[in-house]
Every structure is written in structure tokens, then in C-alpha cells.
Amino acid sequence: MLIDANQALSNTEQTPIDELVRKVQQGDQQAFEQLYRKHEKRVYGLCLRLLASPEYAEDVTQEVFVQLWHKIAQFKGQSQFSTWLHSVTSNIAISYLRKHKNWLQKVVSIEGSGMNEQSVDMCHGLNGLDKLVVRLPERARLVFVLHAVEGYRHEEIANMLGMAVGSSKSQYHRARQLLQEWYDNE
């Protein structure tokens, strides 16, 4: 049965996350909508920073919550729900990027680029730093978002992205250099 989005949002503010998660694990779709309303902006924000494309970010946000519905039984409460959700989101976004490389990018390992300045201006919701982050080349952007924004260690990032720890560190350094250069020239 459907419920009004505003009502779902209102209920969200009243129901603790643990309680919502428990209800969703029992198959409660209303509770799941509340959980979605509570986390949609955070998940979409992470997707947009990682993917540098509003269209991809929307696709992946939907994919995250569809997978969440099917996998929420696996959440045993060892970590905070939001931490677990961010981990699921990051992995799905990275996997999505891999799948959506075109054949030429896959064959010759061309790195994906970031948004151009014109697209950044048309993309709503980005703050000052975000506007620079989405312009970064793909690998530098992924490492910067996962390390600086999401707080992952370089060892974890290396594992997630299938690169050496040293490469993760150098991509982070590269990202900071580019960000500073763009910031100073603004």
C-alpha cells in the first residue's frame, strides 16, 4: 500500500533508524520508503560525487535501494546502518562505472574524465568543493571522494578499486593538486 511522501518524511523524523531497519527486514514497504526518504540525499550526493553525472547518480541511487531491499537481511547491526549503506553505495557506484565504460575505454584502459565546467554550472546542489571534485579525472575523483569525504583508508580504497596502495596515495595527491590549482585560479 502506498503512503504519501510527506507523511513518510514526517514519520521518518519520529522513528529511530534501528526500528525502521527492523521493520524493513520483516518486509515492511512503508518503513522502507521512510528509510529511503531519510537517506536519499546522502546516497545521491555520494553517487554524484563518485560518478560525476546526475543521470548515472540517479540510476545508481535507485539500484542501491533496490539492492538494499533484497540485502537488508544481511545487515546484522555490527556497524551503524549509515556506514553500511555508504559501503554498499560506494561498491555499487564503482561497479556501475566499470560496467559503463565503452569498449574502447576497456580495451585501451582510457581513464574516464570528469564533468566539464559548463555541465558543472548546470548541475544543481553542488557546493564549492563539489563543483571542483566532479571535474576531476575518474581515478583521482574516486580516491579523493572515498578518502577525504567518506573517510576510507588507502588500503581499503586500493582493495575497492583494484589498485596498489601507492597508486591510491598518488591519485589522492594528484586530486589535491588539481583542486588547489582550480581553486587558486577561480
46 near other proteins, rule: CB under 8 A: yes
Question: Long-range contacts made by residues 123-127, C-beta under 8 angstroms, separation at least 24?
Answer: 123/48, 123/54, 125/45, 125/48, 126/48
Q: Please identify, among the stretches 14-22, 87-95, 126-134, 162-170, the one whose residues bind other proteins according to the rule CB under 8 A.
A: 126-134
> Residue 75: helix, strand or coil by DSSP?
coil
Is residue 172 at the binding interface for other proteins, with CB under 8 A as the rule?
Answer: no
> What's the Rg (C-alpha) of the chain?
18
Q: What are 110's three cell numbers?
A: 582510457
Q: Measure the CA–CA gap between 85 and 71, rounded to whole angstroms.
A: 11
| CB nearer to other proteins: pick between 27 and 164 | 27
CB atoms within 10 A of CB 68: 22
Q: Which residues have C-beta within 8 Å of that of residue 78, sequence separation ≥ 6?
A: none
Choose between 77 and 183: whose C-beta lies nearer to other proteins: 183
Min dist CB 103 to other proteins, Å, is: 5
Q: Which of these ranges, 11-19, 56-64, 111-119, 160-168, lies near other proteins under the rule CB under 8 A? A: 56-64
Q: Rounded distance, CA 162 to CA 54, Å?
A: 25
The C-alpha cell that represents 28 in the structure block = 515492511
Q: Which of 14, 78, 118, 184 binds other proteins (CB under 8 A)?
A: 184
Residue 13 in the binding site for other proteins (CB under 8 A): no
- Among 15, 112, 119, 129, the residue binding other proteins under the rule CB under 8 A is 129
45 binds other proteins, rule: CB under 8 A: yes
Residues that bind other proteins in the complex, under the rule CB under 8 A: 2, 5, 27, 29, 32-33, 36-37, 40-42, 44-46, 48, 54, 57-58, 61-63, 65-66, 69-70, 99, 103-104, 106-107, 124-130, 148-149, 179-180, 183-184, 186
